[in-house]
Chain A
């Protein structure tokens, strides 16, 4: 179909989102998109979530950390923010979501809010609460594996 003349095209806002998860999490783009849609639908209902029209445009995830660009219709940024806040897990992996900023263009937003230089994560053995455990560390933040999963800690919590 021929695309719309410029003045009739919808106006968008782009939410630049930081994603965090445990180191063993495998959060794919499709699953993330599904979770965003579900969250929007559950919180806002069919009508408003269709209006907000959330879509994941760019996505990158690895080693328990990721970034995404989520598109929302202009005027629905608060609704989009609320819905993104309600994404608490993708499949069975708990995720932390933080909207770093909102921009009128993908490019400006990515330059401003994404692609922060990140240290690579490293696996190591640490002593945490008087016990030795395997851990994944990055930037002074340490995810210590324990029986039930992981415990989020920092370098200063280790012994």
Chain B
């Protein structure tokens, strides 16, 4: 199971500190949402060596509208293992859901964000994961938390209806905000998720990372063109 974290300077802990805490709590790896800023030369092998967890470099495209978001997309796709687009408005959500290159649509329900059947279906068709963000359930209270829960519920119903792929995250910005998989599972159950859903969502980050690493490996001569087993070295 993986957790997607925001490291310094946007967060309050370094990648390695996250890795140390994540390892102790039983995660298999962490996804660094802001790898560009936090650690451009992120060395997954060294992190694994020191803390026995995987570290995945990711980037999050944050923009106000689709036009602005589509610019950096190609470069971000090329440079990183995982590509997230931060949702938050219906237009952005729809744009991200219809973009094959995007791995994860994060925080779709934050702010004025909303998801409807069109976006859900598009995400399912284009294999874009939507994120269940537990951050505000974990760390907010009162009105904002109720709104977050309402958003999660709506998103969950759509995800179940249209079989949309999804990821789950507690969105920690420091190692103190990191919560173990079992805690997240218990929390998920308390707010209406299945234990299996939360586990699938946490594991999905790892599945994505593995798939993309394979795609970016030397086995792929060009996008969609893989060196097969039948080809012999001559």
Contacts and interface: CB of A to CB of B under 8 A. Distances in A.
Interface stretch (A55-63, A80-88, A118-126): A80-88
Chain B interface helix/strand/loop/mixed: helix
Given A43-B190, A150-B12, A153-B16, A85 B183 contact: yes
Given A82-B190, A94-B174, A154 B14 contact: yes
B24 interface: yes
Contacts of A156: 16, 46, 50
A97 interface: yes
Interface in B133-159: 137-139, 141-142, 145
B200 interface: no
Nearest to A96: B176
Interface residues of B, number: 33
Contacts of B180: 85, 98-99
Contact of B138 (A88, A150, A153, A157): A88
Contacts of A85: 138, 179-180, 183-184, 186-187
Contacts of A67: none
A79 interface: yes
Nearest to B19: A154
A149 interface: yes
B181 to A, nearest CB: 11
Contacts of B46: 156
B186 A157 contact: no
A81 B137 contact: no
B178 interface: yes
Contacts of A154: 14, 16-17, 20, 50
Interface string B1-26: 00000001000111011101100110
A82 B17 contact: no
A155 B100 CA distance: 40
A20 B190 contact: no
Interface string B152-188: 0000000000000000000000111111101110110
Given A42-B141, A149-B12, A82 B187 contact: yes
A114 interface: no
Interface of B: 8, 12-14, 16-18, 20-21, 24-25, 46, 50, 137-139, 141-142, 145, 174-180, 182-184, 186-187, 189-190
Interface of A: 20-22, 42-44, 78-79, 81-86, 88, 94-99, 140-141, 149-154, 156-157
